[in-house]
Chains A and B, each alone.
Chain A
Amino acid sequence: MSWLDSTVHRALVEAVLVGALGGVVGVFVIARRLPFFTMALTHATFPGIVVAALLGVNLYLGGGLFGLLVVAAVLAFGRGRGQDFTTATGIALSGGFALGVVLVSSQDGFTKDLAAYTVGDVLAVGTGDLVATTAVAAGVLLVLALVGKELLLAAFDPVGAAALGLPLVLLDFALLAVVEVTVVATVPALGTILAVALIVGPAATARLLTDRLAPLFPLAAGIGIACALAGVWVSTQWNVATGASIALFVGLVFGAVFLGTAVRDRARRAVAVRA
């Protein structure tokens, strides 16, 4: 009898992992202004899932591999347009999703499998999912630790980075691939539609709290973990959807911090005016 045999224990571990992973990767997503890309990936990986279901292989492996294709397509179409992937991303989003729908409509009877994929269920994650999430988290953190400073420069000043001779396309691919594997790793817990919440929300909240880069990472990871754990707790207490509970907490925390910092700034300004 291992500690991980309990559904709730596995859910808690998964929550901590995806919370931390989403928070840390989210800092780069926010800095590079990639929330739309992240959102699009969740939809564009859809055909990969459908094909995987047709072939009877692991759904997330299918989604992950297809997502890498999408990343390559976005890079190819978005190249030479500075740091704006928006147009290419929009095409990948609608094109990928449409392809998935066509594939699904040509088949009968996997709506059930796919429901879990779209909304996720952290209480259903198995040990295999945990191993996969751990591997992704370790890989992502390694990449960010190794080329974090180059990714930072490429995000802040792409022409300056190119002027230094840094391989921009490779760096862009590394960052988009990091976001992609993070999305795929977060999907079992939150589902495709809500995964973006845990990648964008905690980092955006942390950004409201600090202007400095170094504290952004632990802060975003902490907020991500706290929201994920709170979501799991609420859903086991009241038997409501876990992914949605986590996403709701992310939204609530962002809203509260937004209001809090707005009130604080207003008070500061008032003091400054009086002084």
Chain B
Amino acid sequence: MSERAPTLVLDRASVAYGDVPVLEELNGVVHEGEAVALIGPNGAGKSTFIKALLGLVPVVRGRIEVLGRPPAQARRDVAYVPQADTLDPDFPVSVEQVVMMGRYRRIGWLRRPSAGDRAEVADALERVGLAGRARDRFGTLSGGQRQRVLLARAIAAKPRMLLLDEPFNGVDAVSQHALLEAIGSLKAQGASVVVSTHDLAIAHLACDEVCLLNRHQFGFGPTGDVLTPERLRATYGGHALELRGDRVIVTQT
């Protein structure tokens, strides 16, 4: 494990919108081929964490390095998967056009997609199990399928780091399986994955490491070590927790 190169380094980093610090004292390292789950209650700063890795929210103290560079300079090799329900379902754009957006960075300004780009798009759609829906309008797909399209868009960008913001919300078992498979195959190819989720079972299933967040960092390390009831209770501010087998459930109050 340890001979793998670090892809994400957090060193006493604080992140703020303007004067308002949202996340403070972030520390940790993620390596090639590893996945880290961001876990914390609503408003904890999970989306902000992801935006900081994209260089969209400034680091005001300490240091964040993505692929050995400041976040804004690493964007070429980083792909971001937003929550599907943040996008306009009426927008007149087809599934393959959405996936092609993942290629824009490589295509560059003023140029049109090549046959090679189209092949990458077809391949990415294949990998999320939606090859047959390429020409359908994006908004006509189900929520889970749209989420898979957005993952395909990220895959088409050939990223070395993949950032997913709550990709499993409102997603059925089939789509969840397809998403996990695709994330797994990216990891196998050496990409690092950062995924925010409220689902602790998925963190156990898909992630090597967990970062517990609630404006501060409540833990960062191997999933089994960090996802303990005590730490979760601290992160969630004392809300009740149930343990069922290998599943940990946070009961919202």
Contacts and interface: CB of A to CB of B under 8 A. Distances in A.
A163 B75 contact: yes
Interface residues of B, number: 28
Contacts of A147: 109-110
A150 B105 CA distance: 10
B5 interface: no
A263 B236 CA distance: 53
A210 B101 CA distance: 21
Interface string B80-121: 101000111001111001100100110101101000000000
A195 B217 CA distance: 55
Interface residues of A, number: 23
Interface stretch (A65-73, A124-132, A211-219, A233-241): A211-219
Contacts of B101: 149, 152-153, 156-157, 160
A58 to B, nearest CB: 32
A271 interface: no
B64 interface: no
A40 to B, nearest CB: 21
Interface string B190-210: 000000000000000000000
A273 interface: no
Max chain B C-beta neighbours (<10 A), residue from A31, A149, A153, A213? A149
Interface in A203-237: 207, 210-213, 216
Nearest to A206: B92
A1 interface: no
Interface in B144-197: none
Nearest to B50: A163
B75 A165 contact: yes
The secondary-structure label for the interface of chain B is mixed
B80 A160 contact: yes
Given A160-B80, A164-B104, A164-B105, A212 B94 contact: yes
A54 interface: no
Contacts of B36: none
B128 interface: no
Interface in B26-54: 51, 54
A146 interface: yes
A156 B88 contact: yes
A31 B87 CA distance: 12
Nearest to B111: A149
A162 interface: yes
Contacts of A146: 109-110
A160 B82 contact: yes
Nearest to A162: B56
Contacts of B86: 159
A164 B159 CA distance: 11
A127 B170 CA distance: 59
B80 A213 contact: no
A212 B104 contact: no
Contacts of B23: none
Give 7 closest A-B pairs by Cβ, nearest first: A163-B80, A165-B75, A211-B137, A163-B54, A153-B101, A213-B92, A164-B105
17 contacts: A31-B92, A146-B109, A146-B110, A147-B109, A149-B104, A149-B112, A150-B104, A152-B97, A155-B91, A156-B88, A157-B101, A162-B54, A162-B56, A164-B104, A165-B76, A212-B94, A212-B137
Given A152-B101, A212-B137, 9 more contacts: A149-B101, A153-B101, A153-B104, A156-B87, A159-B82, A163-B80, A165-B72, A207-B92, A211-B92
